[in-house]
Amino acid sequence: MGMEVTWESSVIVDKEARKMNRGKWAMVVVSLLAFGIGYLAGREHLKYELRKGVTQAVEAFREGLGAAFGEAEESVTAEEAVVDAVAARAVVDAYRPYLKLYDVRAGHERDILDGRVAVVRGKLKNEGNRALTRVEVIAYFLDSAGNRIYEQDYPAVLAGSWSTDEKLLKPGYVRNFGFKAKGCPSEWKAGAVECAITQIEFAE
């Protein structure tokens, strides 16, 4: 006796198939975005085109989802968020090489309030062509064996904050920075630090 297939069950199967195809399509689009961004990032004269291309690709992706699948708006929102996040992260990663950290030094200093405390100082230069509102730096503190034993981040650039009157870090500009690491353990080998840039935000 054959199994009876109802109209409702066929609709459910069709919806599941469309969801699987949509996921595969989203992965293809994200992969193409990443490839295109990597290609453009190494070309100085096309950095502005990078942002434009990402925006157009995201918009095309949104329109394609609606036309091809006709799903409810809430089901597309999650995919939009994923694509937007990937695109934004790729733009930041592409710009990171144009930020230069140098003259970084660390040691113990005497502070009026905190006494003897670990301090990191350095300089940050914007060698790209976009103004920045925020650049966050992280410092890793090493022991005598070269192992990381502590870390602390600090906004080397924080324009427009209520707590600071800092300006934008414009193209070609240099910003001095310095911060205390009051939680740095005694096992730290004074002077042994590694610094990296963890966050970038662009001016409109």
> In this structure, what is the dihedral angle of CA atoms 63, 69, 71, 75, given to the nearest 10 degrees?
-70
Contact indicator for 151, 141 with CB cutoff of 8 Å: yes
- Residues 35, 161: Cα–Cα separation, whole Å: 35
Q: What is the pLDDT of residues 55-87, one digit of tens each?
A: 565 566 566 655 555 554 555 577 778 777 888
Please determine, for residue 122, whether its predicted confidence score (pLDDT) is greater than 80.
yes
Residues in the chain: 204
What would the CATH number be for the domain defined by 99-202?
Answer: 2.60.40
Task: With cut-offs at 50, 70 and 90, classify the pLDDT of residue 112.
Answer: confident
pLDDT of 19 strictly over 60: no
Residue 133: the pLDDT is 94
Ranges in the chain annotated CATH 2.60.40: 99-202
Please state which of the ranges 102-111, 122-131, 159-168 shows the lowest mean pLDDT: 159-168
What is the value of pTM for the model shown?
0.60
Nearest of 96, 107, 28, 17 to residue 61 by alpha carbon: 28
Query: What's the rounded mean pLDDT across residues 117-136?
Result: 96
**How does residue 12 score in pLDDT terms, banded at 50, 70 and 90?**
very low
Rounded distance between C-alpha atoms, residue 155 and residue 198, angstroms? 10
DSSP state of 129: S
Identify the three-state secondary structure at position 142: strand
* Residue 156, token pair as written in the block: 């080397």
pLDDT at res. 170: 94
- Confidence tier at 53 by pLDDT (50, 70, 90): low
When the pLDDT of each residue in the chain is averaged and rounded to a whole number, the result is: 76
